[in-house]
């Protein structure tokens, strides 16, 4: 009896590749890999390029025509599927609560890569949202290698030069909601399993591929699995904030790679409305990707903690004693961001009390290290954090890593409550509109009527991004418009503010104040809902509200009008990926602040670093009339 008959696969083997690939659309990657384990004939059938092309389409990151272009840069569609599956949970909107104007990072496809782009708080000119260039800056990239493995590059700028900071991507959980920038101890590749690139699951059997897919749901990193039978690695999060910041400062300063002129090109192609320019972009993107991967392989992107004087100095490795000296010099040589004052200052400028406090902490820290295990101490503060020597002893090298974690987050009015001292950004769930939640999703807008029309005294209007979501409260369905970006010069309300809340089941009888729109056409109102809009009340963190109405136009646009002041916020649904493809790139921040700007600030810190030809409005004592009256 043949192997095909013994496992009952003869019917499947009789199907053509095209028909079989259609059937596999209804299988998960895990099921598809398990199917290939049944017999050799099924393994050969599952290994077909058409089957894996179908799986790449199922992941849904890029359309078919782009997949064909991406395939030219990898070994197979299976390799491409490996990369797409590993980065798919990262796609979407990530935010941080500081600065208060907005810290929006959108992860979108590049070329065999995904790119994290920060939307810069800005004002819009006469072209409006769809046709005006959206300013953005690169934050990080994850590039797929020839075998489908990943390479991470943090972007940053220092002293007028652009740098990339190579690192590793930890296994990404399917439900990750926090993205952390960390330093991780590593073991040399000749001892056990390598941290990330040890095995290619492109050329391995389907059994190994299935294990890799299942493994992505685990909360443990591979380095932790290496030590599964021995000593557990000290997690980066267990270090004190000052130690974490020092490590990030020192490691990024040592592993950085200056971006050559040939790699300053586009990070993603323009829209396909001009095929000739699109193909030119693809050539530039392919050359740039190859250059960055080669730089990463030559640079290694890690620092050796062993005292070996024979390591080449151009491989971004440090001896252990040199590394410790670098840590000691960090507080003297690096300007850091003062989290309390909200501005950049040199750590040398300390008050006497601050100096005494730091000295006391240093003495206490030394006494703990001399006494041995800090667990024997009765002080709760000593038990709270792990020591830096303990962390460094976990491996022979250390390097930068991107950790997509799943944590339990509380939220208030659709905005997650964030940790103040973690170098992290948080994912916002972007709901797909449904019949009963038709307004869910990302909207962009400005204050004033007609929408987006500038005046002589107000040449630009502040751009707002709002995330609309639904929440049930006391048996009633509410629509909440959460502000995630504000384009004014100085913020009036913090990130996560509910700009308005509308009761879906309560219609409004208020008339719309205007008869025509920007094109002098009659305004057609579909229906109106009663709600409340943000206003001054109990202070910056706890604003009050005033009554208003949400008007829904026939063309799908929205307008919320405050009843008393007649201030109007007009909104339209936006495709952020398309806006960024048509946008204008500006320089990045310094690397660590570029990933997560932890300093509280009420002004536009991003415009301070982003030197661009775009004209920014000067500081104003008052906001636009429509916006200002609303808050009085």
- Counting residues of the chain whose pLDDT is more than 90, the rounded percentage is 44
CA dihedral 521, 522, 525, 526 (to 10 degrees): -80
Weakest mean pLDDT among 352-356, 473-477, 511-515, 577-581: 352-356
At 465, is the secondary structure helix, strand, or coil? strand
The reported pLDDT for the residue numbered 597 is 92
Structure tokens given for 159 = 């002293």
| Domain residue ranges in the chain | 430-583+613-630
The reported pLDDT for the residue numbered 82 is 95
What is d(CA 224, CA 243) in angstroms, rounded to the nearest whole number? 21
Q: Bin 268: left if φ > 0, else alpha if -120 < ψ < 50, else beta.
A: beta
The reported pLDDT for the residue numbered 629 is 43
What is d(CA 548, CA 508) in angstroms, rounded to the nearest whole number? 9
- Reported as a pLDDT band with limits 50, 70 and 90, residue 321 is low
325-328: long-range contacts at Cβ-Cβ below 8 A with a sequence spacing of 24 or more?
Answer: 326/250, 326/253, 326/254, 327/246, 327/247, 327/250, 327/388
The reported pLDDT for the residue numbered 567 is 93
CB count in 10 Å sphere of residue 351 = 8
pLDDT exceeds cutoff 70 at 352: no
pLDDT mean over 456-464: 78
The reported pLDDT for the residue numbered 287 is 93
- Reported as a pLDDT band with limits 50, 70 and 90, residue 18 is confident
Q: Does 578 or 611 have the greater pLDDT score?
A: 578
Q: What is the pTM of this model?
A: 0.80
């Amino acid at each position: 009896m043949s192997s095909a008959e013994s496992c009952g696969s003869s019917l499947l083997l009789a199907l053509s590749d095209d028909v079989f690939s259609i059937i596999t659309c209804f299988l998960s990657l895990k099921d598809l890999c398990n199917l290939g384990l049944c017999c050799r004939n099924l393994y050969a059938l599952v290994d077909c390029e058409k089957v894996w092309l179908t799986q790449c389409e199922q992941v849904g990151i890029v359309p078919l025509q782009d997949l064909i272009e991406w395939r030219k840069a990898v070994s197979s569609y299976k390799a491409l599927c490996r990369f797409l599956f590993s980065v798919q949970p990262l796609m979407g909107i990530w935010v941080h609560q500081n600065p208060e104007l907005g810290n929006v990072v959108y992860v979108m496809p590049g070329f065999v890569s995904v790119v994290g782009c920060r939307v810069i708080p800005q004002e819009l000119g006469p072209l409006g949202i769809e046709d005006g260039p959206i300013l953005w800056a690169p934050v990080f990239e994850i590039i797929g290698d020839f075998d489908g493995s990943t390479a991470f590059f943090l972007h940053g700028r220092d002293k007028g030069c652009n740098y990339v900071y190579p690192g590793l991507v930890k296994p990404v959980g399917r439900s990750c909601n926090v993205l952390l920038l960390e330093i991780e101890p590593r073991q040399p590749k000749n001892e056990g399993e390598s941290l990330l690139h040890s095995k290619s699951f492109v050329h391995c059997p389907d059994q190994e591929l299935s294990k890799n897919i299942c493994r992505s749901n685990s909360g443990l990193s591979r380095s932790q699995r290496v030590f599964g039978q021995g000593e557990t690695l000290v997690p980066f999060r267990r270090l004190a904030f000052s130690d974490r910041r020092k490590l990030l400062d020192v490691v990024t300063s040592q592993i950085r790679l200056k971006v050559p002129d040939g790699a300053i090109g586009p990070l993603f192609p323009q829209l396909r409305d001009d095929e000739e320019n699109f193909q030119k972009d693809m050539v530039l993107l392919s050359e740039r990707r190859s250059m960055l991967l080669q730089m990463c392989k030559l640079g290694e992107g890690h620092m050796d903690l062993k005292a070996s004087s024979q390591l080449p100095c151009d491989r971004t490795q440090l001896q252990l004693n040199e590394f410790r000296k670098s840590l000691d010099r960090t507080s003297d040589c690096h300007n850091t961001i003062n989290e309390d004052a909200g501005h950049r200052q040199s750590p040398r400028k300390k008050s006497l009390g601050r100096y005494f406090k730091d000295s006391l902490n240093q003495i206490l820290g030394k006494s703990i290290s001399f006494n041995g295990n800090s667990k024997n101490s009765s002080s709760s503060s000593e038990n709270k954090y792990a020591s830096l020597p303990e962390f460094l002893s976990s491996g022979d090298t250390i390097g930068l890593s991107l950790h997509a974690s799943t944590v339990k987050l509380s939220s208030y009015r659709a905005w997650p409550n964030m940790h103040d001292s973690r170098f992290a950004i948080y994912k916002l769930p972007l709901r797909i509109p449904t019949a009963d939640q038709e307004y869910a999703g990302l909207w962009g807008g400005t204050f004033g009527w007609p929408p987006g029309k500038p005046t002589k005294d107000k040449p630009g209007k502040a751009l707002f991004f709002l995330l609309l979501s639904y929440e049930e409260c006391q048996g009633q369905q509410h629509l909440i418009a959460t502000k995630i970006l504000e384009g004014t010069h100085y913020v009036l309300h913090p990130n996560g503010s509910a700009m308005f809340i509308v009761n879906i089941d309560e219609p409004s009888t208020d008339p719309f104040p205007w008869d025509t729109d920007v094109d002098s056409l009659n305004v057609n109102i579909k229906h109106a809902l009663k709600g409340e809009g943000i206003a001054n009340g109990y202070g910056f963190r706890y604003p009050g509200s005033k009554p208003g109405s949400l008007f829904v136009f026939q063309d799908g646009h929205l307008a919320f009008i405050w009843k008393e002041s007649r201030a109007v916020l007009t909104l339209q649904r936006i495709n952020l990926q398309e806006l960024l493809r048509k946008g204008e790139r500006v320089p990045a921040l310094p690397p660590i602040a570029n990933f997560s700007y932890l300093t509280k600030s009420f002004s536009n810190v991003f415009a301070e670093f982003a030197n661009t030809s775009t004209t920014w409005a000067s500081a104003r004592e008052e906001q636009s009339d429509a916006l200002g009256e609303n808050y009085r």
